A and B are shown apart, each in its own frame.
Chain A
Amino acid sequence: MNRQRTERLTRWIIRRPIMYDLMRGALRLYYAREENPAFRIWVSFLLRTHREAFARSRPVIWCSAFVPTELVHGLGGVPVHPEIVASLIAYFNISDWFLERADTRISTDLCSFYRIALGMAMADHLPRPDLLISASTLCDGSNKFFGYLSQLYGVPHFFLDVPYQNGAQGRRYLTDQFRDLIDSVVCLTGIPWIKERTDRVVRRSNQAREYLLQVNTLREACPAPFPGSEALSYGAGMIFCSLGTAQAVDFFRTLYGFIRQSVRRGVGHLSREKRRLLWLHHIRPYYPNNIFDVLGGKRAAVVFEEVSHVYWDPLAEDTLLESLGDKMMANPGNGPLEGRLNTALQLARRYQVDGVIHFSHWGCRQSSGGASAIADALKKDGIPCMILDGDGGDPSNYSPGQTQTRLEAFLEMLG
């Protein structure tokens, strides 16, 4: 079947809510033997969210990765994260379909997740947004790319300008923006912002957070009970997309139970773990790649990753807007590099790693720009760090041979 027909067919399929019900049933059977039940919850969550978004029973709100999803659930909307959808497309190894389209409009030097998302928007493969919400954290793309989407779709773009540093003045500035945003969105959608709903969202978010904290504690175990490659895929996906939902609580509770079993049995995800690694960046390459096979083959386990670190305090029901603002400002990637650098040092020590891999995603200036300073700081602390250049979404920017050579050299250096 040629590409055009395939695209037409996929467009037809994904826009039909009933297809998600069928897929859920089929995937339930397909993944029945999946060892980790939390993974099945992730799949179910994805299907349900997309079904709701295409069914348009509630406002479809596209948001950038670091906009707290609790806000969208509080507004009564269905959140769609174009960057996360892009990572799924890369996972299914069809990102080139959409990159080809996007690259006729925007530079290939930009983040491939935004390029894929643009290509999907151009191919009408995404649920049409009713409005967009993005924030200045963590990157320029989440401001400007969403501005472009706003022009393409002709829908309003609401923007949260996150102050560079924490402080009372910044907090007030951000809280005021939340208030204005909520007023405007409520006016647009007609769905009121009601405390009963927001309190429920807060309770669920805090419950999920609590389970995630416990998961993170379990993952200190040696050997590492849970692979970083999976935490960087569906673990990160749930952190970005689901907080505030019942499914998030279910997921992290289930994940906790699953990992606890492994820890009790003293079983690692790698047999004969030889080296422990920390992965820096919120993403990894999602298209088929050999990174984790190379690491696993050398008995090097990615024991933890930056994206799973819980940096925010529990949300407060009565001062929710301030809490959400605090959560955004507390992100170690916001503000000066020392936030991220200190977090890297802390995690490296906590998880007793032998080395750190900083994944520098092509087009991700906010992270790659600080990689050298972070690597130098880790080295001063006696922790070797390797900067691995690559691309999270575009396989044409990936060189398996070169990556393998570099990883093997790093591991050899670790001894």
Chain B
Amino acid sequence: MTEAREKYLLRQKTPVIGWCCSYVPIEILESAGLVPFRVLPSPPVEMGDAYLNPNFCPYVRAIMGEGLVKTHPFLSGLIIVNTCDGMRRLYDGWSYYRDLPFLHLMDLPRITTPAGVRRFREEIESLAERVFSHFGAASTRETMKACFEISNKTRILMQQIEHLTIRGCLDLPASERIDLFKAGGILPRAQYNPLLERVVQSCDGGRDPTGTPVLLTGAMLENTAIPSMIEEAGGRVVVHDLCVGGRQPEDLVSLSEDPLMALARHYLLRPPCARMQETEKRMEYILGLIRQGGARGVIYYVLKFCDTFLYEAPVLRRKLDHLGIPMLTIESEYRQGRGGGVQTRIQAFMEMLNNSGTP
């Protein structure tokens, strides 16, 4: 699907703007008739080492590497978000080493106070001004709202898929569910929403789900072999909280207020990733997911050298220890495939969970 889409993007004329973080309000691009494209690089990552540093987030190094070899020649621009030190330096790397017509770093507040929301609105406005000016594009309040209606539809469908998964109504392995959510960053909504609808309609009304329910949480999951390994070991990824799907807010983008403020509020106030400052809010969100899904264990997936998630891990572990919920931390180097060590650890963790019978 990805290959076909990329071939199409190479042929068509509309500017394609890459983005790397789910905090980018892609409706800004869609409303102006531009094509957003989520950059999900493939390993290996070593190419970026000479320009960043080997002890850097491998996802960031992979994007740097892809930039150097121009894996996506159809990209007319790239939006990077100031999510972490790695992304900040990725922007610098692309600025100095990759000649791209349009490169923008969007500052993302770390706090979700009203001041933070107002600040984010300013950043979104700045992004819109730059992108529209550079590409000679334009958007109106009406076109934005029309975009919101379509993107809200996407959100509703993704939420339905998550709820159906929790209820055990969807016969869709977790790896395919995550791939499905990833596809949303690449396919146009006109294609993606019908795809989601078909998945929702495939719901068979409910059955007793098998497998020990677990929560899979973390940042960027490139290796969908991980959820497969969990399921093969007798687990069921009942809910996931990842940068590639999950963290869907219940609220939709408002159609009744200033569109930029609506976007700022929706994106900033959504369930937070570890990068955000309000650690307690994130802990409450994760515990809420555990309760919602009835998860009996947590698999915490973190990329090597990812400071934000590595600092969060002991905070979450402490919370879960108090509740008697086991947690397994897997550190990944952003590789595909089934590393023997990881598989063994997942098997051992699931065996422990399966035998514990802890409610």
Contacts and interface: CB of A to CB of B under 8 A. Distances in A.
Interface string A135-165: 0100111011101101100000001010111
Nearest to A144: B311
A144 B82 contact: no
- Interface size on B, as a range, is 35 or more
Interface stretch (B15-23, B145-153, B212-220, B313-321): B313-321
Interface in A91-114: 105-107, 109-110
Interface string B140-184: 000000000000000000000000000000000000000000000
A139 B311 CA distance: 12
A139 B275 CA distance: 12
Contacts of A362: 55
A289 interface: no
B53 A365 contact: yes
Given A177-B115, A362-B55, A140 B307 contact: yes
A164 B107 contact: yes
Interface in A339-379: 360, 362-363, 365-366, 368-373, 376
B277 A368 contact: no
B50 A372 contact: yes
Nearest to B109: A161
Contact of B279 (A110, A147, A169, A365): A147
A173 interface: yes
Interface in B82-118: 82, 84-86, 88-93, 95-97, 105, 107, 109-111, 113, 115-116, 118
A109 B306 CA distance: 9
Interface residues of A, number: 41
A105 B90 CA distance: 29
B305 interface: yes
A165 B88 contact: no
A337 B90 CA distance: 10
Given A161-B277, A372-B51, A366 B88 contact: yes
Contacts of B277: 136, 143, 147, 159, 161
Given A106-B310, A110-B307, A161 B85 contact: no
Interface string B275-295: 101010000000000000000
B312 interface: yes
A7 interface: no
B51 A148 contact: no
A2 B313 CA distance: 32
Given A109-B55, A150-B279, A376-B96, A365 B305 contact: yes
Contacts of A105: 314
B311 A336 contact: no
Nearest to A109: B305
A140 B331 contact: no
B274 interface: yes
Contact of A336 (B86, B92, B313): B92
B308 A173 contact: no
Task: Tell me whether chain A's interface is mostly helix, strand or loop, or mixed.
Answer: helix
B6 interface: no
Interface in B111-140: 111, 113, 115-116, 118-119, 122
Given A151-B318, A163-B107, A336 B95 contact: yes
A162 to B, nearest CB: 9
Given A151-B279, A337-B89, A145 B311 contact: yes
Nearest to A105: B314
A365 B95 contact: no
A144 B53 contact: no
Given A147-B277, A376-B96, A159 B110 contact: yes
Contacts of A250: none
B308 A161 contact: no
B61 to A, nearest CB: 10
Nearest to A169: B122
Contacts of A139: 85, 307
A220 interface: no
Contact of B315 (A151, A165, A363, A365): A151
Contact of A173 (B92, B119, B275): B119
Contacts of A363: 55, 307
B304 interface: yes
B203 interface: no
B305 A106 contact: no
A176 interface: yes
A136 B122 CA distance: 19
B52 interface: yes
Contacts of B192: none
Contact of A148 (B82, B89, B311): B311
Given A169-B122, A373-B92, A141 B52 contact: no
Contacts of A144: 274, 279, 307-308, 311-312
A109 B310 contact: yes
Contacts of A373: 51, 92-93, 96-97
B107 A165 contact: yes
Candidate in A140, A337, A369, A376 with the most chain B CB atoms within 10 angstroms:
A369
A365 B86 contact: yes
Interface of B: 50-53, 55-57, 82, 84-86, 88-93, 95-97, 105, 107, 109-111, 113, 115-116, 118-119, 122, 274-275, 277, 279, 304-305, 307-308, 310-315, 318, 331
30 contacts: A106-B310, A106-B313, A106-B314, A107-B313, A110-B310, A139-B85, A144-B279, A144-B312, A147-B279, A147-B312, A148-B279, A159-B277, A161-B110, A169-B119, A173-B115, A176-B115, A177-B115, A337-B92, A363-B307, A365-B53, A365-B55, A365-B307, A366-B88, A368-B55, A371-B53, A372-B51, A372-B52, A373-B92, A373-B96, A376-B96
Top 8 nearest A-B pairs by Cβ distance? A369-B89, A144-B311, A337-B92, A164-B107, A365-B85, A147-B279, A366-B85, A368-B53
Given A144-B311, A148-B314, A368-B53, 8 more contacts: A107-B313, A161-B109, A164-B88, A177-B115, A336-B105, A369-B89, A370-B92, A372-B51
